[in-house]
Amino acid sequence: MPGYLLSAFALVGCAHGGRAVPTRPDTRVLVDGVPVTVAAPDAPYTVVGCPLPVQPGPGPCVSAQWTGGATRVLAGGVPVVLSDSPSVCTPTGTPLNVQVAVQRRVRGV
């Protein structure tokens, strides 16, 4: 399914309510003047403010990775992240939630 390209300003969070921010958006590709995010192993998101307690259990979400992206839209040879791309948080294994995609002009497949 096509989804909106996520920029570095998109509001993204873990399933528990923590805020997720990209560590390395692609600054060569801009949407509304803001860098897009890419689904690359070296471009994780940092999760802050996850309310899960440290013990018992796996603890709060600290990072996240997009496990898929666009199949036809690339930035620097890497798939861009779409608003419906799959992801996983570490250490909980839960997905990221795109709360607000921010830009609503550019869609990708």
| Residue 61 to residue 75: CA distance in whole angstroms | 27
Angle at 24 between CA 107 and CA 17, to 5 degrees: 75
Phi, psi of 103 (to 5 degrees): -90, 140
pLDDT at 107: 82
pLDDT at 57: 78
35: number of Cβ within 10 Å: 18
Q: Please say if the pLDDT value at position 104 is more than 90.
A: no
Q: Please say if the pLDDT value at position 1 is more than 70.
A: no
pLDDT tens figures, 59-95: 899 999 999 999 999 999 999 999 999 999 999 999 9
58 or 94, higher pLDDT: 94
- For the chain, the domains span 3-100
Q: Is 97 within 8 Å of 13 (Cβ atoms)?
A: yes
Q: How confident is the model at residue 7 (pLDDT cuts 50, 70, 90)?
A: very high
Structure tokens at 10: 């998109």
Q: What is the CATH number of domain 3-100?
A: 2.60.200
